[in-house]
Amino acid sequence: MSIHRTHGIVLRTRKFRESSKIIVFFTRRYGKISAIAKGSLKPKSKFGSSLELFTRSSLIFYRKENRDLHTLSHSEILNANKNIGNDVVKLAYASAATEMVERLVPNEEQNETLYELLDAILNQIGVAERNQLELILASYTLKMLHAVGYGPELAACVRCGKDLGDEVWFGLHSGGALCPACHKEDLHAMEMSRATLELMRKFESISMARLRETHSADKFSRDAFDILHAFVRAQISEGARIRSLDFLERMRDSSFA
Amino acid sequence: MLGSSEKIERLIQELSKMPTIGRRTAQRIALYLLKAPREEVTSLVSALVEMKENVGYCAECGAITESDPCAICADPKRERSAICVVEEPGNVMGIEKTGEYRGLYHVLHGRLSPLDGLGPEDLSIDRLTERIKALGVKEVIIATNPTVEGEATCSYLAQVVKPLGVKITTIARGVPMGSDLDLADEMTLARSIQGRGEVK
């Protein structure tokens, strides 16, 4: 057993026995890890509120080789992302951002780019207006896909390499944009507008903070959101679900938020 | 099966369905029950059946009860002008133990949780608004857990209840009794400052 220090963001928590919690973190140095925080549900626990969802904390944990569950010994809040809990809509977007990472990334694979990206999206969700959330989550999703190695090809047709015209499809199984000649080869191709393709290309080139300042949500950002999340779902194992994305869709179709 | 029996295997499978009980724990319980005196096992079985046949949820507030409506909803001495909203039935027992509250309760049976796929339609929210209107409630005390999802549930409920024109309060959040301010984290202290009260 060895002792390790790192920074980590809480992706998920679940109660364990009477007063403990098991927390899934995405950490800067070790990627996705699970750790048990003994006694963390007791009111006077030393962990305080540092193990709440979306909180970024500095962590000290005991790592057990060849084990999936480590033991957390200390955590201290660096950023509580406290604006997220005040609004169920922000909670839903932040949950989708973290759950996608949880589902797509294997345990203990360091990915500092993804760590920075996750930190950035949670900060952005905290400060964004409700009507900007769809746009910035779509942008984050594309950046995240690139960071974990599933980035779709958008510069040219992913199958034949030809330039793309006004008629464009997105091949969920091909992994990127398709020209009119190639889209029939992919049974799971979704039609998209040229404007949606241009918006996705913009997602690749500018930061989420900049995007929030310069763009507003429209039909194309909605389409990009839907296509990119269909693509994320196509990458996870069959039958598995990303519940927060399902929740976001239900929320969009109802009047509850 | 060598070294075991189909009947023990069946019991292990049934026990493994329960929360926090894995196969190994289920096996330990099964072997304990095999060794235990017959009366102890019979008593356990009758306790399980009796609980299942006689205990349920109050149709009014959703708390655990053996009679419907529950003793709290049926008690004419309880104040009907206040409803305390909690996430789980166990929370009612906790607040009752304090002896500080004399109003009614409403159990949501969960909290809003996108990660677990739980939305407003999965919680007892429509029933809450019906009760507020029917009872002429003047104050709704939201006592969801002090977690991110509990806080979001609280703010959502406040949004739903506000148009009904009742006073909405939450239980105080912050530093626990007997602890030290030096040891409290920034979130806990921030909530204590936000929810500060006048000294009486």
Q: Is A42 on the interface with B (CB under 8 A)?
A: no
- The rounded distance, in Å, linking the Cα atoms of A64 and A3 is 9
Give the distance from residue B74's alpha carbon to the nearest chain A alpha carbon, in angstroms. 32
Q: Is residue B177 part of a domain?
A: no
Q: Which of A253-257, B22-26, B191-195 has the highest mean pLDDT?
A: B22-26
Best residue in A49, A50, A56, A82 for a mutation probing chain B (most B CBs within 10 Å): A49
Fold of A87-253: de novo design (two linked rop proteins) (1.20.1440)
A57–B contact, CB cutoff 8 A:
no
Q: pTM for this one?
A: 0.90
pLDDT score at B4: 74
Domain A2-80 adopts which CATH fold? OB fold (Dihydrolipoamide Acetyltransferase, E2P) (2.40.50)
**CB contacts, 8 Å: B161 with chain A:** none
Higher local confidence (pLDDT), A9 or B191: A9
On whether residue B47 sits in a domain, the answer given is yes
- How many CB pairs below 8 A link A and B? 88
Domain total in chain B: 2
Q: What are the tens digits of pLDDT across the range B20-73?
A: 788 999 999 999 999 999 999 999 999 999 999 999 999 999 999 999 999 999
From chain A, pick out residues whose CB is under 8 angstroms from the CB of B114.
91-92, 95-96, 99, 243-244, 247-248
Task: Kindly state the average pLDDT of the residues B95-124.
Answer: 96
Residue A238 has pLDDT above 80, yes or no: no
Domain end position, chosen among B54, B76, B92: B54
Q: How far apart are alpha carbons B118 and B98 in whole angstroms?
A: 30
Whether B38 and B93 map to the same domain: the answer is no
Which residue does chain B place closest to A82, by CA atoms? B187
**Cβ within 8 Å, pair B149-A248:** no
CA distance linking residue A219 with residue A226, whole number of Å:
11
Question: Looking at the structure, do residues B96 and B167 belong to the same domain, yes or no?
Answer: yes
Full strand arrangement of the beta sheet holding B82-86: B104-107, B82-86, B139-142, B167-170
Nearest CA in chain A to B21: A17
Domain-embedded: residue B48: yes
Task: Spell out a b/e string for A44-55, using b for 16 or more CB atoms within 10 Å of the CB, else e.
Answer: ebebbbbbbbbb
Instruction: Please name the residues in contact with B174: beta carbons below 8 A apart, sequence gap of 6 or more.
Output: B184, B188, B189, B191, B192, B193, B195
What residues does each domain of chain A span?
Answer: 2-80, 87-253
**B116-145 residues touching A, CB cutoff 8 A:** 116-117, 119-120
On whether both B132 and B155 belong to a single domain, the answer is yes
Largest CA distance in chain B: 71
Q: Is a pLDDT exceeding 80 seen at residue B92?
A: yes
Task: State whether B70 and B49 are in the same domain.
Answer: no
Identify the three-state secondary structure at position A224: helix
- Are residue B73 and residue B154 in the same domain, yes or no? yes
Q: Residue B179 domain-assigned? A: no
Each residue of A11-62: pLDDT tens digit?
A: 999 988 888 999 999 999 999 999 999 999 888 888 988 999 999 999 999 9
Q: Do A250 and B120 touch (CB under 8 A)?
A: no
